[in-house]
Amino acid sequence: MCGFVGFLNGAGRGDADAGIALRMATAIAHRGPDADAVWAEGPVAFGHRRLSIVDLSPAGAQPMLSHCGRYSIVYNGEIYNYRDIRAELETTAYFTEVVKAWRGHSDTEVMLAAFAVWGIKATLSRLVGMFAIALWDRQTRILTIARDRAGEKPVYYARIGDVLMFGSELKALRAHPSFRADIDRGALALFMRHNYIPAPYTIYSGVKKLGAGMVLTVLPSGQEELETFWSLPEVLRTGEKRQTISDRDAIDGLEAVLSRAVGEQMTADVPLGAFLSGGIDSSTVVALMQAQSAVPVRTFSIGFTEDGYDEAQYARQVAAHLKTDHTELYVSPQEAMAVIPRLPTVYDEPFSDSSQIPTFLVSQMARRDVTVSLSGDAGDELFSGYSRYTMTSALWGRISRLPVPVRSAAAAVIRAVPVGAWNALGRVVPRAGNRFGDRLHKGAGVLSCDSVDALYRSLVSHWQEPETLVRGGQELPTVLTGLRPDLGGLSAVERMMALDFLSYLPDDILVKVDRAAMANSLETRVPMLDHRVVEYAWSLPQSVKMRDGVGKWVLRQVLYRHVPQAMIERPKMGFGVPIDSWLRGPLKDWAETLLSESRLRQDGYFDPRQVRVLWADHLKGGRNWAYHLWDVLMFNAWLDAQASG
């Protein structure tokens, strides 16, 4: 796990300046505190920050040249099957005639040899791991940038003038003297809807995220070619689909493929552990780790004193049963809130999933004892774990029976009456509740949806009409709208799972974990995103993922082989903090400064009236607007950090 940077000059700019690459790399020093190096030749320059995980010697240092001298590489990630690839390469003429003897035992050296023997795209298809790669062919003068199948490792790129620049984080690109920090208001509108900015967009105009499973090739002419070497829609079209499978075979198959992934990801030359929340996903990963370890696995969890936010007690029980070497830390509200000023620089574009706070804290704690931590992420997307899947499907089944004109008319009637008036009525109607109007207005939005995809987009959105909030912000197309992938043949629930895998997972969950961990120089690994696990999960029928309205059935059965069912079965809590009450209490003055009408008018990004109405309603307890307000707060805090940085 590291960080890399680079740039490619156009024909009119002359040779690349290694000093610029060094400045870019220094901007992401947190990703690799162990070493730094740069390499420049002709129009291209690479920079690298190293977090030593496998082969701690100088033989594993980057940028690295291939044995034949043709390729130069910078790379971030881990290749878990590199030993198998290495053994296969040792049977080739390239090894006996060119390599002769390996310099060390790093996966980087093996990858370079594989590129020389099999070519770039063939090698990418053989790799099992998480990676972002920049490769310069010194012979053809072609630059290749590639990203792993699920989007675990980040890579950003931009062509500004006649310079193509790229790197692991946006702050690296900002360090290039040609960078232009122009806010993309369309991307900002997407941020207000989703609390993250979906690929391929970033907060800056002209700057892009390379999509998961994609390869960017830059030819000597400057022409760019974008290809996909792996995608979930392609897996769904061409992969195996087991229409029927016995429960026993499904469970055995999942345990085998997931155990293999976990075992391979336990390879490291530095201390290794795992995050443990006590939930199904992390408990399964830890159980499979402990089953393959001769010593207690190091596990880490964070606890909170607030009611409804503490999972540490459950993690403690699982750790005791599995006999792991467990560490937990109870965090006070003051300690958690102390992280907030750091968030705009940790997430160097706006990001407002508030679980970023506990994720940062557990990463900070784990780094005191280990350099690598495995995570249980992706279980919900692969095994139908989110309750919103069944809720959306059931809701659509009911409202889709009503004719569209009837639904539209009902929605119009509801919206014609202000929320406050409906709430007042709710206080005198039995069982209606204090927030009757809130629920009715949400329901009006649901009634207006013309498809299950539109309904799902509505239910996972924060600001429902961000174009009215963001001045000049026209929403850009995403996989939920104009860039919809071909997911034909999937059920409604499966479509939601696939859309989450393509957007929410890489652009929210994996961003959250990568930035929080790397800000603490901690490598994280996600065994469930081994592409063999992903492909196996999608080959299973939905009936073994969700049964009797309960998700992750097959994953639960694997876990129950290692941990008693009674220890796991409880309502899902999530990994959050009480932002809503903090905004009414200790964060109130901080938030008021960022949400003041004068500030909003001066910046000119948001409609002040909408923001101020929600802020006032939140403060008086009318409705919990924490998610909406946190979006605005995180953008404004980020804006301040950019101005001062």
Which CATH number covers residue 93? 3.60.20.10
CA angle 105, 106, 112 (to 5 degrees): 115
Nearest-angstrom CA–CA distance, 332 and 337: 9
pLDDT for position 397 = 81
Q: Which residue has the higher pLDDT, 267 or 452?
A: 267
Domain shared by 62 and 192, yes or no: yes
Q: Are both 79 and 181 inside the same structural domain? A: yes
Do 203 and 262 fall within a single domain?
Answer: no
CA-wise closest residue to 356 among 467, 246, 517: 517
Same-domain pairing of 544 and 591: no
pLDDT at 127: 98
Three-state SS string over 559-620 comes to HHCCCCHHHHCCCCCCCCCCHHHHHHCCCHHHHHHHHCHHHHHHHCCECHHHHHHHHHHHHC
- For the segment 207-221, the average pLDDT, to the nearest whole number, is 97
> Is 586 found in the same domain as 561?
no
Same domain, 186 and 270: no
State whether 207 and 322 are in the same domain: no
Is residue 186 located within the same domain as residue 82?
Answer: yes
In a domain, 335, yes or no: yes
Q: Is the pLDDT of residue 432 over 60?
A: no
Same domain, 257 and 320: yes
d(CA 460, CA 16): 45
Q: Give a yes or no: residue 481 inside a domain.
A: yes
pLDDT (tens digit per residue) in 605-629: 999 999 999 999 999 988 889 999 9
Lowest average pLDDT, out of 180-189, 243-252, 437-446, 512-521, goes to 437-446
pLDDT at 37 over 90: yes
How far apart (Å, rounded) are the C-alpha atoms in residues 306 and 315?
Answer: 17
Q: In sequence order, which residues have a C-beta less than 8 Å from that of residue 55 and are 6 or more positions away?
A: 104, 105, 106, 269
Q: How many residues does the chain have?
A: 645
| 58 vs 6, more confident | 6
Average pLDDT over residues 465-469: 95
Mean per-residue pLDDT over the chain, rounded: 92
137 and 100 housed in the same domain: yes
Residue 550, number of CB atoms within 10 A of its CB: 14
Say if 477 falls within a structural domain. yes
**d(Cα 549, Cα 449) in Å, to the nearest integer?**
24
| Residue 573 located in a structural domain | no
pLDDT tens digit sequence for 224-263 = 999 999 999 999 999 888 888 999 999 999 999 999 999 9
- If asked whether residues 454 and 550 sit together in one domain, one would say no
Number of domains in the chain: 4
Q: Which range of residues forms the domain containing residue 490?
A: 387-495
**Cβ–Cβ contacts within 10 Å for residue 477, how many?**
13
Q: Is residue 590 part of a domain?
A: yes
Q: What is the pLDDT of residue 307?
A: 67
Q: Residue 28 falls within a domain, yes or no?
A: yes
Are 253 and 375 members of one domain? yes
**Residue 419 pLDDT exceeds 70:** no
The answer to whether 455 and 395 have CB atoms below 8 angstroms apart is: yes
Which of residues 495, 526, 546 is at a domain's end? Answer: 495
Whole-angstrom distance, CA of residue 217 vs CA of residue 295: 45
In a domain, 574, yes or no: no
Residue-wise pLDDT tens digits, 96-151: 999 999 999 999 999 999 999 999 999 999 999 999 999 999 999 999 999 999 99
pLDDT of residue 428: 63
pTM: 0.93
In a domain, 374, yes or no: yes
